[in-house]
Amino acid sequence: MRIFSGIQPTGRKHLGNYIGAIRQYVAGQDRGEAIYCIVDLHAITVAYEPAVLRESVYDTAAILLGAGLDPNRCIFFRQSDVVEHPELCWLLSSVTSYGELNRMTQFKEKAGAQRDLVSGGLFFYPVLQAADVLAYRADEVPVGEDQRQHVELMRDVAERFNARFGETLVVPEVRVPEVGARIMDLQQPDRKMSTTGGTPQGTVYVLDAPDQVARKIRSSVTDSGTEVVRAPDKAGISNLIDIIAAVRGTAPEEIEREFDGSGYGAFKQAVADAVIEYLAPVRERYTELRSDEAGLERTLAEGAEKARAIASDTLRDVREAMGVGSGHEVRSGQ
């Protein structure tokens, strides 16, 4: 079983990223051959600062390693270090439907949020994502709910490629967690917790100090009722139930039973305590790891070398199948 997922470089990974994706990445190391990358080539599709981007890669690397990624048990690298990703992106564009790309929710949302330029790269974002995964012939892609549509698209791309050029690529399965696949903004619980689209007080960051976490959770928007149960008209409480269930590794029903009759104040305090305890060790390890940039760079470079060995094999087969290049290629894995 081969697992692949990518994550954007930002120093401000939030609880949604952690519960929806990072937690699954760590668990994936025990379930199969796990490959994870920091997608700096995706990050340049919207407005950004070059110097900040490079720093953000280190921030994200330190968060992921702090969360429990172990370079001896997974392949962990920076996307732009493996040139096969953009090359495969271009090759796959020929079997990607323009109409499908046009229907991508993330593109519509992010395009609407750009002030100056809606880049072609933003439109192509899901094709690069398809290349990321398909280059490793991954069986499974752990993501949060918001990325399900992109995984559907990459499955279509792989199937179309195989139908047109012969069985070459693996059609991956999406893996979305049962609890916590869509953590909502604490102030606007009808919208997902998000790096770019959320409210500052409604977004808990992995690196927030304990008192910030407590303040944000205690002031989260709920409803005029008192019952700690999940219901369509109780988006705020439902979200907090999901958060504490995911953090404790229990079922939401258990949480509802435990906090039956306890009132919102005590429940919020329990959620805050659980999240603080959950994130504390990550923050501690982050601080230590982040201070050693050379070490982080070494880890990413070693990961890239291992990644390239796999991706270059796939690229050779893809080029061969598509009739691109001489057909006598021995890729050096440059």
Sites of contact with ligand AQP (CB under 6 A): 7-8, 16-17, 19-21, 143-144, 146-147, 181-183, 192-197
Q: Which is nearer to ligand AQP, 7 or 241 (CB)?
A: 7
| DSSP code, position 22 | I
- CB of 181 vs ligand AQP, minimal distance in Å: 6
Using DSSP, state whether 237 is helix, strand or coil.
Answer: helix
- Give whole-number Cα distances, 35 to 1, 25, 137, 300, in Å: 11, 9, 11, 12
Which value, in Å, is the radius of gyration of the alpha carbons in the chain?
A: 21
Query: What order of strands is seen across the sheet that includes strand 173-175?
Result: 74-78, 33-38, 2-7, 140-142, 173-175
Using DSSP, state whether 203 is helix, strand or coil.
Answer: coil
| Percentage helix, strand, coil for the chain under 3-state DSSP, each rounded to 5 | 55, 10, 35
- CB of 280 vs ligand AQP, minimal distance in Å: 21
Residue at shortest CB range from ligand AQP: 20
How far apart (Å, rounded) are the C-alpha atoms in residues 94 and 157? 9
- CB of 24 vs ligand AQP, minimal distance in Å: 8
- CB of 150 vs ligand AQP, minimal distance in Å: 9
Q: Which is nearer to ligand AQP, 64 or 158 (CB)?
A: 64
How far apart (Å, rounded) are the C-alpha atoms in residues 103 and 47? 22
Residues 271, 243: contact at Cβ < 8 Å? yes
Q: Which is nearer to ligand AQP, 45 or 222 (CB)?
A: 45
- CB of 1 vs ligand AQP, minimal distance in Å: 18
Q: Which is nearer to ligand AQP, 20 or 303 (CB)?
A: 20
Residues forming a β-bridge with 174: 141
Helix or strand run (H / E) with residue 85: helix 84-93
Q: Which is nearer to ligand AQP, 20 or 252 (CB)?
A: 20
Q: Which is nearer to ligand AQP, 195 or 212 (CB)?
A: 195
Residues 109, 197: contact at Cβ < 8 Å? yes
Backbone angles phi, psi at 50, to 5 degrees: -55, -45
Q: Which is nearer to ligand AQP, 181 or 315 (CB)?
A: 181
- CB of 207 vs ligand AQP, minimal distance in Å: 14
- CB of 17 vs ligand AQP, minimal distance in Å: 4
